[in-house]
Amino acid sequence: MNYRKLGKTNFNISEIALGTWQVGGKWGSPFNDKTADELINTAIDNGVNFIDTADVYENGLSETAVGRVVRSRSKRIYVATKCGRFINPHINEGYQPKVLQKFVEDSLKRTGLETLDLIQLHCPPTEVYYRPEIFELFDRLKEQGKIQNLGVSVEKVEEGLKAIEYSNVTTVQIIFNLFRQRPSELFFKEAQKKNIGIIARVPLASGLLTGLFDAKTTFGAQDHRNFNRNGAAFDKGETFSGIDYELGLKAVEALKALFPGVLNLAPIALQWILSFNEISCIIPGASKASHVESNLSVFDLPKLTPEKIAAMNAIYEKYIKSEVHQLW
């Protein structure tokens, strides 16, 4: 495992971390504590020391599992969680300091931790980024010892740029992968100027970049890759990075041609992200321990050559850029 600095937090964290949206099993299936514990322990055993969760993941069960495992381990594991998505309807007016403070306190109870290493606003409405009183709350929570750092998880580059104007924002979690390249143009430079940690999420475009899907692949009724392709439940950029599924498959076929004989493209897709020094870590999800091992096999590969990276970028330019580049 390799480690990088997480911006102003000064945490030294694993390049490949663990996202826990589906840590208790596949999306839509009942939460399995045994699966969750095995998966999180596998990650930690292989050098992962940064785990990202959220209060809404499996209605709190993900946070509970993360806290349970982290407390049982002697290694220093950094826990990041998120708050805000329990607000219903999810609108600007619902974001109030008292409401968010209660969410933080609930997360502390569920995880059983004394303090949260990183609390992130969870893709709030854009208007929230223009309300200083929301960001000031987290200074008070830090003084009280309930949190160590504040970050944000954003949908759009512009939200990230606005968020880092607040001096207490230490990290930005943003969708970044071979099929979502816009953050690297301006946002990375501005974040680096302010020593902001950048956490890359949806790194495999909801599994599309594994190369394991085809036109016949089906997804369960409760799987967002089925019900959210057009943004019915939340921002469609969270599902296949906002790319039309069939178009994505065409781009993946071109990617496969670049790497003949490679059955699982996930480690290559992750390596492409790690080629950007501005990235602090990547948080691929996993619904079983073998997914964790697959993601960590990125370190077994020879580094991508500049020629391969250029060829990968050409696939983005040809198939994807005109569809999504301007949207997020």
Range 3-324: architecture per CATH: Alpha-Beta Barrel (3.20)
Predicted local confidence at residue 186, as pLDDT: 93
Three-class HEC string of 253-303: HHHHHHCCCCCCCHHHHHHHHHCCCCEEEECCECCCHHHHHHHHHHHHCCC
> Is the backbone peptide bond immediately before 89 cis, with ω within 30 degrees of 0?
yes
pLDDT of residue 37: 96
Average pLDDT, stretch 64-71? 98
Unique residue bearing structure tokens 């959220």: 54
pLDDT tens digits, one per residue of 161-184: 999 999 999 999 999 999 999 999
Give residue 159's pLDDT band: very low, low, confident or very high (50, 70, 90): very high
For the chain, give the percent of residues with pLDDT over 70. 100
What is the model's pLDDT at position 26? 79
Q: Which two tokens stand for residue 323?
A: 């569809």
- pLDDT, residue 120, reads 98
Percent of the chain with pLDDT over 90: 81
Q: Would you tell me how many other CB atoms lie within 10 Å of the CB of residue 3? A: 15
pLDDT digits (tens, 9 = 90+) for 290-318: 999 999 999 998 899 999 999 999 999 99
Mean pLDDT of all residues in 227-250: 86
